[in-house]
């Protein structure tokens, strides 16, 4: 018996990093997983790993900032698996710069991917969730528990120099979380936020590695300068960065029956640090 037996989960940004680790963990715990990622290749790789381990998964590739994508994502999930129990809004990236050098494009790109995209996905999912909950309430007296887990960052709680756009967007996802927990409590949906510190992903890899992505017609450098990475590690009481698998464990808790009376909460996953 797994913690998520019979559940159906959407995880955005699950072709790599924390999202991929969560998709594999959720599948191992019994969930059927919809792997959503911007890039088809990484999404397919995550699905293949899940299926090779005996789990259930499909890939739905696409840009979460595309206004048409949420309808495609929710419809494909319902058509394939017949329901929806868990949504993890994890997709995102960073586009850093100090405020006097930051462009409007950088600013709005972070709001679009970290705020608008989760809002649209949840709005699209609301039609199924509300109607399903009403039917379950009439039949059983209470709707089945469902979960929303929004991924945040310590930048959104404490700020971080050079990330005014990212920090603002991540602070916004906290507001969305707390508000939706109040709106959807009547449908027995627990809405929580996992707030990560320094987790080893391509967003926190050494900037010297030179990894870049194309966004909004521009080339965006990923990573953190090596000296800053070293300083960040020194500020973590556990003395190291976290792994994607450790981050996924926090997501599993918030997506599982273990959190059925936890809602509107921001769980900091930082190794004991705050920055």
- Check 93, 108, 166, 187 and give the catalytic one: 166
166 is catalytic: yes
With residue 145 as reference, give the H or E element that holds it. Answer: none
Distance CA 253, CA 256 (A): 5
With residue 185 as reference, give the H or E element that holds it. Answer: none
- Residue 265 is given by DSSP the state -
How are beta strands 8-12 and 86-89 bridged, if at all?
parallel
Long-range contacts of 134-142 (CB under 8 A, 24+ apart): 134/187, 142/188
Contact assessment for residue 110 and residue 154, using Cβ atoms and an 8 Å cutoff: no
Other CB atoms within a 10 A radius of the CB of residue 110 amount to 24
Nearest-5° Cα angle at 112, 111 to 114: 65
Distance CA 23, CA 36 (A): 10
What is the chain's Cα-based Rg? 18
Which positions are catalytic? 166
């Amino acid at each position: 018996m797994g913690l998520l037996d019979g559940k159906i989960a959407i995880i955005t940004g699950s072709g790599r990093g924390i999202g991929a680790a969560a998709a594999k963990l959720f599948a191992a715990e019994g969930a059927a997983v919809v792997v959503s990622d911007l890039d088809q290749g990484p999404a397919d790789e995550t699905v293949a790993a899940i299926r090779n381990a005996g789990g259930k998964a499909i890939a739905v590739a696409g840009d979460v900032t595309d206004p048409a994508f949420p309808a495609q994502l929710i419809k494909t999930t319902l058509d394939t698996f017949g329901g929806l129990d868990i949504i993890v809004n994890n997709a995102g990236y960073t586009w850093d710069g100090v405020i006097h050098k930051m462009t409007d494009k950088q600013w709005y790109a972070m709001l679009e991917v970290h705020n608008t995209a989760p809002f649209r996905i949840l709005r699209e999912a609301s039609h199924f969730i509300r109607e399903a909950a009403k039917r379950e309430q009439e039949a059983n007296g209470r709707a089945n528990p469902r979960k929303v887990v929004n991924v945040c960052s310590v930048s959104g709680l404490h700020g971080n120099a050079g990330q005014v756009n990212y920090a603002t967007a991540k602070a916004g996802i906290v507001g969305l979380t707390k508000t939706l927990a109040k709106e959807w409590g009547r449908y027995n949906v627990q809405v929580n936020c996992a707030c990560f510190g320094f987790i080893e992903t391509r967003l926190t890899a050494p900037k010297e590695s030179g990894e870049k992505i194309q966004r909004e017609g521009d080339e965006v450098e990923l990573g953190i300068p090596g000296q800053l990475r070293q300083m960040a590690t020194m500020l973590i009481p556990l003395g190291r960065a976290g792994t994607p698998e450790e981050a996924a464990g926090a997501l599993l808790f918030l997506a599982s029956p273990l959190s059925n009376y936890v809602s509107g909460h921001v769980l900091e996953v930082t190794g004991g640090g705050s920055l």
